[in-house]
Amino acid sequence: MTLLEFIKSHALEDSSFGDLADDVMGDKNFPYDQGEERIASYLEFMLHRHGNVGMFEEFMEAYQSHKDVEVEFNDLDTKYAPMRAERWEFLKANFSCDKVISVGEPGDIYRIYAIDSAGKEAIKFDVYGKRTLTELSVVEIENIVRGNLTRELSVAEALAALAENKFEGTRSPTQPNYSEMIDYLTSHRKDKN
Whether this prediction's pTM lies above 0.75 is answered by no
By CB neighbour count within 10 A (0-12 exposed, 13-18 middle, 19+ buried), where does 191 fall? Answer: exposed
pLDDT at 17: 86
| Digit-coded pLDDT (tens) for 142-174 | 999 999 999 999 999 999 999 998 887 667 898
Q: What pLDDT sits at residue 10?
A: 82
The per-residue pLDDT of the chain, averaged, comes to 85
How many degrees, rounded to 5, is the angle at CA 83 between CA 79 and CA 86? 100
pLDDT given for residue 83 in this prediction: 66
56 has a pLDDT exceeding 80 = yes
Question: What is the rounded CA–CA span in Å between residue 147 and residue 149?
Answer: 5
Calpha distance 16→50 (Å, rounded): 14
pLDDT tens digits, 95-149? 899 999 999 998 899 999 999 999 999 999 999 988 888 788 899 999 999 999 9
> What integer pLDDT is reported at residue 151 of this predicted model?
96
Residue of higher predicted confidence among 131 and 193: 131
The pLDDT, as a whole number, for residue 153 is 96
Residue 84, pLDDT > 80, answer no
Residues 108 and 167: their CA atoms lie apart, in Å, by 8
pLDDT at residue number 91:
87
User: Which pLDDT does position 78 carry in this prediction?
Assistant: 47
- CA–CA distance, 90 with 95 (Å, rounded to integer): 8
Question: pLDDT tens-digit profile of 23-41?
Answer: 888 888 888 888 889 989 9
Per-residue pLDDT, 5: 83
Q: Where are the domains of the chain?
A: 3-85, 95-187
pLDDT: which is higher, 182 or 20: 182
The pLDDT assigned to 181 comes to: 94
